[in-house]
Amino acid sequence: MISIPKKGTPERQRLIDEYKKCMDSMKGVAGNSTLVCPTPGDVTDVTGGIHEDFLLNRVLIRMRAQPVKGKLIVICTKVEKEWRIGRLSGIRGVPPVFVADQVYDDEQMIQFDIFLMRLDEMEERDGYPEHYSEGWKRRDDNWAVT
């Protein structure tokens, strides 16, 4: 069980600052990693981030483990040029919907904004048994039942 730092606390700000430092150091790197490069964009030597910050690691794992329905995602609208934030419906075949009109030209900045949005949506206490499901193929996840 982990405790999500409350809004306005120094611990929450430290978590946000560490994530921002990771995103800034990954500028110019394809994809997204929550690690720190001494020289931005040079991934030959990575430190910090999820390797050294236990709380950041736990929070990101819980974010990734959330159910698909309602999850915020990056939608590429122009290949390697434009991205927007979308929200998944959780129903197969139903496309995601855009959550805002903002268009990003930086892949790391959109990841940072999604992190902030998801952090705000998380419960203060997370990881209790009631937060877990039986698995990816349970009856309520819109699989065709035969």
Supply the Cα-derived Rg of the chain in whole angstroms: 17
Q: pLDDT tens digit string along 74-124?
A: 999 999 899 999 999 988 889 999 999 999 998 889 999 999 999 999 887
Q: Which of 97, 101, 77, 79 is nearest to 89 (CA)?
A: 97
Query: Which positions ≥6 away from 49 have C-beta within 8 Å?
Result: 18, 19, 21, 22, 33, 34, 35, 36, 56
Question: pLDDT: is 132 or 121 the higher one?
Answer: 121
Sheet holding 97-98, edge to edge: 72-78, 82-87, 97-98
Q: What is the per-residue pLDDT for 146?
A: 45
User: Would the pLDDT of 28 be above 80?
Assistant: no
User: Would the pLDDT of 145 be above 60?
Assistant: no
